[in-house]
Structure formats: C-alpha cells, structure tokens
Structure 1
Amino acid sequence: MLVTIKQGDFESLNDVSLIWACIEPTITQIRGKSYIVKSEAYATLNPGQRALLMFQVLYGHTSNGIEEFYFHLSYLLSNKDVWSQLKKGMQYFEDFDMLQILEDMDVIFQSMKTEEFKNNTEQRNTLITDIDRNAELFASMNLLNKSFSVTLLSTIQRVAAYIRNNANEFVQLID
C-alpha cells in the first residue's frame, strides 16, 4: 500500500518525519497484533516497504537507552525470520555499516553464556535487568549501543535519501 502524500509535504519533511510518514500506516495496522497478522501485512509490502518496516522496527525500539536496546535486540534475535529480514533490509538500503553492527550483535548475542541465547528462546526469558547483573553483557551492549548510535544518523539519512530518490516505491504523490 502506497501512502498518499502531497508533493510539497514530501519535499519538506525532514528525514525522520519522511520515514515515519511512509511507514506509519503499516505500523498502525500491525502494532499489538499477532505474528500471523504481522506476517500477512508484511507479505503485502513491496521490497522497499519491507526494508523500511524492518528499519523502523529496529529504530523505533532501540534509541531509548541501553536497557531497551538490549531487551529489544534480544527479542528480535529470538526470531530468526525477523532478524534475517532486518539484515535484508539493511542490505536493501546498501547500509553496510549498520549491517556490520547487526552481524556483530548476532555474534555477541550467540556467544553469550546465558540460557536465553544458547537455546534461542522467547523474549519472556530475557529481562531488562539481565544487563545490570552481568558486567560482560553490559560492556558488550554498551559498546554495541555506542556503535549503533554513531551509525544511526547516517542510516536515517541513507534511508530517507533512498525514499526521496525512489518515491514510487513508497508514496503516491498528489498536488
């Protein structure tokens, strides 16, 4: 589903607002819904919209501190299909710096000695407080969070530039 937007609005939106305007209807449709509903909605998107949705899933839940960063990433990593699509999204936007951070996250999470990662279990086994009780985990997540934060601005710029240069994948412009 392409978002209908006025040409002037499209041209004047800042990067974050443009990204949100292009994906907000999909987020609204799937927020709080079952995995099946989310999968069905995902299947209706074109490749650019899929990549944008996966970026928003990452961005929307990882920019509010190290605890949320850890908790959300552990949730994403617990679902290999979602994690795979997230990495495909970064490949789609040719954001190899962010893709490398995701690869690093995968390696660190999988090498953890904690049961939730060794067994690849559900989010319910991952507690935000885990990071406070494990110095090695905190140090790893702190380093990853810093790398992520540094790279995020260029990722936002890259994604927004892609949208502007390929508007027909995301929006229907009107006068």
Structure 2
Amino acid sequence: MEPTLLQIHGKDISVKTQAIARLTEGQKALCMFRVLYDHAKGSVSEYYQWISYLLDRPDYWSGVTGGLRFFDDLAMLGLLEETTEVLAARNCRLGVQWGDATFKDLERDRELLNAASVLFERFLDIAPNSLKRISTYIRSNPRQFVTIEDGD
C-alpha cells in the first residue's frame, strides 16, 4: 500500500483515480481508510476540515464509506454518519457548502468547536478498533494485499 499512497499523495484526481483503480477490492478499502485516518487523526481542526473536504468530493466520500463497509466497521461508519448530520445541519443553518469549511470556523463558532471536539474524541476512541479490525482482515487474507515475487 505504501507505494500507492506515495504515488497518489499530492497528485491530481486523474492520477489518484488511475492508481486506485489498479488496486484489489481490499487494497482499495485500506487505501480509502488511510485517506480518512491519516488526515483526520491529528487534531479536531484536521478532523473537521478533512471530513468537510471528503464530503465535498462525493467519490472520495463513497470510497471511504465503502471501505469501512468492506471491513464491516459499523462503529466508524456510524460516527461518520453522525458527523455528517451535525456538519450538514450547521451548513444548512448558515447557508454554506462543504468546500467553504476552514480551520478558522472552529475559532469563530463555539458550538461547532464543542460538537466537533466530541466527534473527534469519539473518532480517536473508535480508530484503534478500526485498525485492529483491518489488520486482522489483512492477516486472514494476505493474498489480497501482498504479492510476493520470486527474485529468480
């Protein structure tokens, strides 16, 4: 997975789409989980901004949720659904779009900061179980994730 993640990091959507299309179903699910987790785990601001970014890109969002479904990660799916509802209600109330989200929103909106902080803490609580679920699946299905080539 690391070569693919390095290949798509910071690239345009067509490069990312081509690289991801070459992955197995399990590799795609893992890649999309990493797209979520690696960007959202750092802080409440990163969680808020990254979820909004992904929701602004329906193909990415469906890839993330599809990956979680692949691993049967109902807890993380439920949290993302709840996060979507909270953020969508705020966006509707303020008349803003997903793409309008900025880190400064949390500084300006105490209610948003409180809600996002609770959701982020739950994300941090759920993520270790997600990682364990994924690693167990990979160990049980290594051929979906690793290709061993003969050096001869």
TM-score, length basis structure 1: 0.80
Aligned structure 1 segments of 4 or more residues deviating by more than 6 angstroms: none
Measured against aligned partners, the alpha-carbon deviations of 1:53-90 in whole angstroms (never above 9, x if no partner) come to 01101110111111111111111111111111111110
Alpha-carbon distance in 1 for matches of 2:130, 2:80: 13
Partner of 2:23, secondary structure, is coil
- Structure 1 residue 116 displacement after superposition: 3.4
Equivalent in the alignment of 2:140 = 165
- Report the number of matched residues: 148
Question: Higher relative contact order at CA 8 Å, sep ≥6: structure 1 or structure 2?
Answer: 1
Partner of 2:147, secondary structure, is strand
Structure 2: gaps (5+ residues): none
Structure 1: gaps (5+ residues): 1-22
Whichever residue aligns with residue 172 of structure 1, its letter is T
Q: Of residues 116, 119, 125 in structure 2, which corresponds to 1:144? A: 119
Q: Identity of paired residues, percent?
A: 35
Alpha-carbon distance in 2 for matches of 1:86, 1:116: 23
Does 2:42 match 1:64?
yes
Equivalent in the alignment of 2:96 = 116
Whichever residue aligns with residue 158 of structure 1, its letter is R
Alpha-carbon distance in 2 for matches of 1:31, 1:24: 10
**Which stretch shows the higher mean deviation, 76-85 or 165-174?**
165-174
The structure whose residues are more often strand, as a share, is 1
Whichever residue aligns with residue 116 of structure 1, its letter is V
TM-score, length basis structure 2: 0.91
The structure whose residues are more often helix, as a share, is 2
- Structure 1 residue 153 displacement after superposition: 0.6
Report matched runs for 1:1-175 at 5 Å: 23-112=1-90, 113-117=93-97, 120=98, 122=99, 125-173=100-148
